[in-house]
Structure 1
Amino acid sequence: MDQFAIVTAFGQDRPGIVALMADSLYQLGCNIEDSCMTRLRGEFTMMLMVRLPQGLDAEALGHRLTASTRSLDLAVLCRALPDQAALRLHMPELPTFMLSVYGADHPGIVAQVARTVAEQGGNITDMNTRVIGSGEVPVYVMVLEIQLPQDRQADQLKQALEALKPLLGVDLTFRPLDSVTF
């Protein structure tokens, strides 16, 4: 049975991080199955699900990647995935929505929006946030992808989110996302 690991790497953004990580994994016989990478201001971070070759476990992979990426001063973490976590299962098509939140930056926006989504049975499957604008007038932007179980009504979640607008001083848009299958 195939073995899988989650690899997380982060460090100061610079050219060559993706190339070095991908080549290091390839040289070790790993296959990159899924990935998510982004830059957070001056830092770069990546998460990868990799299929491990026979004879290489997640702990050894972490040590070898740390050594091979030392030139870029990356922090590398590896964790073995349980067999069931790495299985490619056909997932039922769940209604998916996009939520965009804009407003003056202040603590608690993510916490209150995430709590509201969870209370309504929603699952946040992707989230990106940024502070934009000038330092004097920062604007917080948050974009979330949310799945709702078939038994939950989108209107109930939308109403709960609308109630947050005056409390958080934000504007939000909640809309269905067209179905995309990878």
Structure 2
Amino acid sequence: MTDLALVSTFCPDRVGLVSGITGHLFELGINLRDATFAALGTGAEFSAVCELPESLTVAEVEASLTALPVLARAQVKVTPFTFDPIPGPHALVTHRIEVSGGDQPGLVARLSEIFTQFEANIVRLDAQTLPDRAGERYSLRFSVSIPAEHAATCLAAVANTAEMLALNCKTESL
């Protein structure tokens, strides 16, 4: 059986970061499973569940990544992945929801509470402060798994909350 590892990096954002990391992992014979990348301010975060060949240890992967020029000044961590790598039913995205407008402190907490109330699981979350003609615009994108029996009421609650806060709300059923 192939060993699984979680590869996590955090460093200054730069062009070629994803290709540098993933190309290096490929050269080591590592297969990527679930992976994410995000620019966070002027930093960037990459995480991936990886299948390591039997001949490679997590320590060797971490050492080789740390030596990469593209990961200069990076925090690199490689640890054994002990969870089941096959996503469960709560990871199946059924809806995408985007809420945007002026920044509202507590908005992520408020919307995530609505999802919890309707037994919906947040699979992905992306929040950004974006430049806008009027100053700044806050944009939230959720990919969620909502049980079919709660979908209509959950989406209505999210839309009502957005309307109450004078925010735009778009939903997409998959």
Q: TM-score range by the shorter chain?
A: 0.7 to 0.9
**Deviation of the 1:85 alpha carbon:** 1.4
- Single out whichever of 154-163 and 68-77 deviates more from structure 2: 68-77
Aligned residues between the structures: 174
> Who is 1:101 aligned against?
99
Distance 1:140 1:65 in 2: 34
Identity level (%): 22
Gaps in structure 1 of 5+ consecutive residues? 178-182
Please report the TM-score for the alignment, with normalisation by the length of structure 2: 0.82
Deviates most, 102-111 or 10-19: 10-19
Shift of 1:118: 1.4
TM-score (norm 1): 0.79
Q: Report the AA paired with residue 175 of structure 1.
A: E
Consecutive unaligned residues in structure 2, runs of 5 or more = none
Letter in 1 for 2:144: I
Mapping 1:41-120, distance limit 5 Å: 41-69=41-69, 72-82=72-82, 85-86=84-85, 88=86, 96-120=94-118
Pick from 146, 154, 157 the counterpart of residue 157 of structure 1: 154
Using the TM superposition, give the Cα deviation of residue 33 of structure 1 relative to its aligned residue in structure 2, in angstroms. 2.9
Deviations 1:125-148 (A, max 9, x none): 122222123496321111111111
* DSSP-derived class of the 1:154 partner: helix
Aligned partner letter, 1:33 = R
- Write the letter of the residue equivalent to 1:123: N
CA apart distance, 1:95: 7.0
Q: Which residue of structure 2 aligns with residue 138 of structure 1?
A: 136
User: Which shifted more, 90-99 or 64-73?
Assistant: 90-99
The reply on whether 1:16 has 2:16 as its aligned counterpart is yes
The CA RMSD measured in Å over matched residues stands at: 2.8
